[in-house]
């Protein structure tokens, strides 16, 4: 039986809803597209649906030259960020674009914005960025754009705690400059871990408010908390330990950008690299279609078959609060899915229970329902192999499935 939320849980959820409805949550995507590229196997005829988030991965998929990438998000601020990136690719040279989204700071951004970028944006995006040109100033306490938005606020707070320990700050820099796994492991074990996990840091990362600022609602926070004997703090410690000891840091732009406030020329998303930027500017960026709406409304608004779906982790919280809406979403997905369509999603649970609980409408037999697992063929071996390589490593599981309606 699903546990019922307490009064405190409801308070935290209302807090999450309030900040979600008013804020940019994600200034960078927190899902590794290198895994997705292998799992999706994108081809020239594919139509992709991806939840937008910060737009980084929509740009990454476009580099694989599918027919279209539909970037869908109910939060218009996330769409506004993707629109700004698309406008920057179309209107700016690589050097200026890298200032904005590589270094995250350009003193001349306001002039860039009003001279070149604003006219390409939707009315909502224009209003949003008109009030936030200072996000790229790099002045005062703000290191860069990657200190902005709710995820940036958490990064800035954690960095403030690190600044109180010069020895820890030095060990982090040495780790980020490591050139071998052996060197990483030595620095982390000897210099970083003993200084990092203080009582204050453990307390900060285990707060539900912190999870909300990172875009993690109550059901996911609860799943994370119950997945480790030491709760949320223990789970995060284990994730960071794995990332910094087992995976090459010199390619890990996810953690680097929050630790440094910027990407480097060699450690950054593909869309920031000169050759890939040129490919997007040469026409591939035009294959991205941003949509501010829910996944279900988007799916119900057209009939074009979709062959690839990237659903991130939103089913964790939908299954808890809105199970009927989630079943409706999957019913719409199955109706729009082309034969053999591939679906990717992530979860805070190692074995998400909602998969066995959803009954959805059969796409070809009106009035008939089927259990969701009966409509999907999971490739658990591939998903598990890829999950071990995940440079983010903050999800408990990664899932790859093919639509196979009986």
What pLDDT sits at residue 207? 61
Quote the CA–CA distance of 121 and 80 in Å, as a whole number.
8
pLDDT for position 54: 97
Contacts of 17 (CB under 8 A, 6+ apart): none
Residue 5 scores a pLDDT above 70: no
The model's pLDDT over 336-361, given as tens digits with 9 standing for 90+, comes to 999 999 999 999 888 888 888 899 99
What's the whole-number mean pLDDT along residues 319-336?
Answer: 92
Nearest Cα residue to 337 out of 46, 35, 64, 37? 46
Q: b vs e for 252-289, b when ≥16 Cβ sit within 10 Å of the residue's Cβ?
A: bbbbbbbbbbbbeeebbbbbbbeebbebbbeebbebbe
* pLDDT number for residue 82: 98
Q: Please, is 10 exposed, middle or buried when counting C-beta atoms within 10 Å of its C-beta (0-12, 13-18, 19+)?
A: exposed
Distance CA 229, CA 222 (A): 13
Q: In what order do the strands lie in the sheet with 397-403?
A: 288-292, 68-73, 47-51, 306-310, 337-347, 397-403, 376-378
Alpha-carbon distance of 290 to 310, in angstroms, equals 14
- pLDDT mean over 293-311: 97
Instruction: Return d(Cα 341, Cα 242) in angstroms, integer.
Output: 32
Q: Which long-range contacts (CB under 8 A, 24 or more apart) does 263-268 make?
A: 263/101, 263/102, 263/103, 263/104, 264/102, 265/98, 265/102, 268/102
Selected residue with higher pLDDT from 232 and 403: 403
- At residue 109, the 3 state secondary structure works out as helix
Which one has a higher pLDDT value, 133 or 20? 133
Q: Do residues 405 and 336 make contact, with C-beta atoms less than 8 angstroms apart?
A: no
- pLDDT at position 271 over 60: yes
pLDDT of res. 21: 61
Q: For the chain, what percent of residues have pLDDT higher than 90?
A: 67
């Amino acid at each position: 039986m699903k546990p019922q939320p307490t009064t405190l849980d409801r308070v935290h959820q209302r807090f999450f809803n309030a900040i979600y409805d008013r804020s940019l949550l994600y200034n960078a995507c927190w899902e590794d597209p290198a895994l997705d590229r292998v799992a999706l196997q994108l081809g020239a005829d594919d139509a992709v649906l991806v939840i937008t988030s910060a737009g980084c991965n929509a740009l990454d998929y476009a580099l694989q030259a599918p027919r279209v990438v539909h970037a869908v998000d109910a939060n218009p601020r996330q769409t506004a960020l993707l629109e700004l990136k698309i406008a920057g690719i179309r209107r700016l040279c690589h050097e200026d674009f890298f200032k904005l989204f590589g270094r995250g700071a350009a003193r001349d951004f306001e002039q860039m914005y009003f001279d070149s970028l604003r006219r390409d944006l939707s009315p909502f995006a224009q209003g949003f960025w008109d009030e936030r040109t200072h996000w790229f100033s790099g002045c005062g306490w703000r290191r860069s754009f990657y200190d902005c938005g709710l995820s940036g606020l958490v990064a800035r707070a954690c960095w403030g705690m690190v600044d109180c320990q010069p020895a820890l700050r030095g060990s982090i820099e040495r780790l980020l400059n490591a050139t071998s796994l052996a060197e990483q492991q030595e620095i982390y074990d000897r210099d970083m871990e003993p200084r990092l996990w203080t009582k204050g840091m453990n307390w900060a990362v285990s707060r539900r408010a912190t999870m909300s600022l990172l875009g993690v609602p109550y059901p996911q926070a609860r799943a994370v908390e119950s997945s480790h004997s030491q709760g949320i703090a223990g789970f995060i410690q284990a994730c960071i330990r794995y990332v910094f000891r087992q995976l090459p840091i010199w390619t890990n732009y996810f953690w680097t950008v929050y630790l440094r406030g910027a990407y480097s020329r060699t450690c950054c998303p593909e869309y920031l690299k000169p050759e890939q930027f040129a490919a997007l500017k040469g026409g591939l960026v035009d294959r991205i279609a941003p949509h501010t709406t829910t996944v279900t409304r988007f799916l119900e608004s057209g009939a074009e078959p979709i062959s690839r779906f990237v659903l991130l982790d939103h089913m964790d919280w939908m299954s808890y609060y809105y199970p009927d809406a989630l079943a409706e979403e999957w019913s719409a997905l199955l109706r729009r899915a082309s034969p053999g369509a591939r679906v990717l999603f992530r979860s805070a649970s190692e074995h998400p229970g909602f998969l066995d609980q959803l009954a959805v409408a059969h796409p070809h037999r009106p009035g008939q329902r089927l259990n969701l697992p009966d409509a999907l063929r999971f490739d658990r071996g591939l998903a598990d192999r890829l999950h071990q390589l995940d440079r983010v490593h903050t999800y408990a599981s990664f899932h790859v499935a093919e639509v196979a309606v009986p």
